[in-house]
Amino acid sequence: MRRMYAIGFLTLIPAAVALLAGCGANPEPTTFLPEEGARVVVVHEVADFNEWHARFTDQAPARLDMGIEEELVMQGESMPNLVFLLMTARDSAAAAAWLKAPETARSMDFAGVQGELITDILAPGIVYPDTEYFATRLVVRHPVSDFDRWHSTFRGHERARLDVGVHTMLVTHPLGDRNDVYMMFGVSDPEGVAEYMASDLLGLAMRLAGVTEQPEAFFVNVVE
């Protein structure tokens, strides 16, 4: 059973429903990563984050040998023992092989991984290459009825997100399922974003955009 820790009934389009009609500013052009790339997302809790991180770092050469080329480690802001990993693999085959390798399971057990584990192999996705560095990120996943319809609305409201301190960094989805959307945002104003997420109008806004279930989201801080 896959699970994320929901932090509220939210969407990352404006709280004002009228903005869904198309009066937001268009975002800068996005860039698609090469098709041969793949990302792996792994989310789990550990007994002690610092101990887990030391062991995870020690095992980096073995992951590199298996085709895991880049790694972004993030830690839950309100749940300090929550680990959120976003890794770039050489290709989807390398990503799948790493996830299935017995060594991977043993290393997770040894590193103190607890509770349910979330893993997905993600499509290369759409990146926003000019986004500045943000130590605090908001990672969101939600299903949509139609990716193209949802993404058209999403692109049209980039300015509104920027106005509340939400900076788009990545939009992607699992391989083979375009309608299960993953997004990562840089957060420049955490308090403003929290107020934005608490709006009473967001449920209606999500339905109009084609979001079919309550989003699951994490506030995380970049560790490396």
Angle (deg, nearest 10), helices 92-100 and 102-110: 60
pTM above 0.75, yes or no: yes
Residue 211 has a pLDDT of: 66
Instruction: Tell me the two tokens of residue 150.
Output: 């949802």
Q: Is 12 a domain residue?
A: no
pLDDT at 9: 29
- Kindly report the backbone phi and psi dihedral angles of residue 27, in degrees, each rounded to the nearest multiple of 5, phi listed first: -75, 170
Strands 180-187 and 38-46 turn out to be unpaired
pLDDT value for 108? 78
- From residue 5, alpha-carbon distances to 47, 172, 208 in Å are 17, 19, 24
Q: Is residue 214 part of a domain?
A: yes
Structure tokens at 167: 């900076």
Task: Count the Cβ atoms, other than its own, within 10 Å of residue 67.
Answer: 17
Quick one: pLDDT at residue 135? 92
* Same domain, yes or no: 134 and 171: yes
Question: In sequence order, what are the beta bridge partners of 46?
Answer: 113
Range of the domain at 61: 38-121
Domain boundary among 83, 101, 121: 121
- Three-state SS at 128: coil
5 located within any domain: no
> What are 15's strand-pairing partners?
none
Does residue 66 fall inside a structural domain?
yes
Which residues of the chain fall below pLDDT 50? 1-27, 29, 31, 33-35, 201-202, 204
pLDDT of residue 205: 53
What integer pLDDT is reported at residue 24 of this predicted model? 36
Could you give the number of structural domains in the chain?
Answer: 2
Q: What is the DSSP string of 177-223?
A: -TTEEEEEEEES-HHHHHHHHT-TTHHHHHHHHTB-S--EEEEEEE-
Q: Which residues pair with 174 in a beta bridge?
A: 122
Q: 164 in a domain, yes or no?
A: yes
The dihedral formed by the CA atoms of 142, 25, 198 and 222, expressed in degrees to the nearest 10 = 60
| Domain harbouring 155, CATH code | 3.30.70.100
